[in-house]
Structure 1
Amino acid sequence: MNKHLFLYRVKDSDDRDCCAYIDTAGPKFECNHYFSSIRLCGSCYSGGKFPEYEEIETILTKDEYEEIISFNIFIKALDYGITKGDNRYKAGIKLIDSIKHIYDKLNSDEALAFFEKIQKSEMKYLKKEYNLSDRNIEEILNEYTEDFRDRSIVSYIYDNSEEAGREEAWQLGYVKDDDSISSKYFDYEKFGEDLVEYDEYFMELCDGRVVRLSY
C-alpha cells in the first residue's frame, strides 16, 4: 500500500515542488494528547500552505478540497492536552470520520487514473529538462523507492560519476575551492562511483550520467 495519496498539482508551474501529496493513513490521535492535521508533502518538503482551488489540478471538487482546509482549522482548534474519551477527543474522532469520504475518493480508480495523467505530464517535463529518454525515465522510476511520481524526484543529473563526485565532495566539505592540495589529490571519479554503488541518493543511467534523487 502506498504511503501517500496524490492531492494536487499547481497549474502551469515551473516550481520543482508543484505536486502535493498527503499521508494515506490520514490524521489520528497522537501521543495520547492531540490530533494531527492533514499535512502537504512531496519528495523534497513537508508542510506548507494550501493554495486556492482555482490554482490547482485535483480530482476533488472545490467543496471537497475546502473541506480539508476547514478540517485543519477545526482539528487544530482542539489544541493539546486532550484525554482519550473526553469531549475534545470525541469531537476529534467525529471530525476525522467526516472526511473519510475524501480519502476514499483519493483512493479511487478515478483518482488513480487522474494521477497517471499527471505522472505522464511530469515525466515529459523531466525528459525535456534533462534530455532524458523513455529508457532513462524507466530506469529512474525503477530505482526510486518512494511513491512520489513527479519532477521533484530528480534533484540533479551529472554528466558522469566524476562530476557527481566532485560536486558532492565540495558540498560535504571534503575539498575547498581555495585548497589546491585536497583538490589535486582527491579521487572524484572513485568517490562518484562509490556514491552510485552505496548511496541511495545516487544512481547511474545507461548512458553514464549520474542522477541525484530526492528523498
Structure 2
Amino acid sequence: MASPSICLLAALLVLVSWQAIASDPSPLQDFCVADMHSPGSHAHTPRKTNKVGSNVTLINVMQIPGLNTLGISIARIDYAPLGENPPHTHPRATEILTVLEGTLYVGFVTSNPNTLFSKVLNKGDVFVFPEGLIHFQFNPNPHQPAVAIAALSSQNPGAITIANAVFGSKPPISDIVLAKAFQVEKGTIDWLQAQFWENNHY
C-alpha cells in the first residue's frame, strides 16, 4: 500500500501536467503579410477634434492585419485648446501615453477605494493607465493644442466612454435607475440622456 506522501506527490504531478496541457498556446506568429498596395495608416496627420475637443486615431488590427496575435496597438490623440479625451476605460489593455506636443493633465481612478492618481505632463513625459481602470486626459492650455501617442497592450483594446455608456446607451438605461444611482432628480437624467453622445474612442 502506497504511503500518503507518495499519493499526494502523484496527485500533484498529475495536476501540474494537466495545467501545462490546459494553458493557452503562445499567441505569436511568424508574420502576417497584409495588402502591400494598401495606403497604410496616416497617424502623422493632425485631425479635426470633436465637441469635447479631442480626436483619437486608432491603429489596431483592423487597420494593420499584421498586428493579429501580436497584442499591441497604437493611437494618436489630438487635443484642442481646453480639449479632453473624456473618462473612459479599456477592458482589454494597459495604456502607456507619451506627450508629443503641449501639456496634458492626466489621471486614473483605482477601484475601491476610488483614489485618483493624476499628473501634469509636458512634452516627452510618459504616464501609464492600468488595464480596466477609468482614466482621462485634458489639455489645460486655452491657447495651444496638444498631441500624444498611446500604445496599448492589445490588438483590440476596446473602449468604454463612461458618459456615453451611462447616458447614451441604446436602448437607454431607465432614468429612474440612473436618478437613484447618481442621487439627482429624474429631470436631470432625462436632460443628460437627450444630449448627443459622440463616440471618440479606440
Q: Which bin holds the TM-score, normalised by the shorter protein?
A: under 0.3
Greater helix share, structure number: 1
Structure 1 or 2: larger strand share?
Answer: 2
TM-score (norm. length: structure 1)? 0.21
TM-score (norm 2): 0.22
Structure (1 or 2) with the larger CA radius of gyration: 2
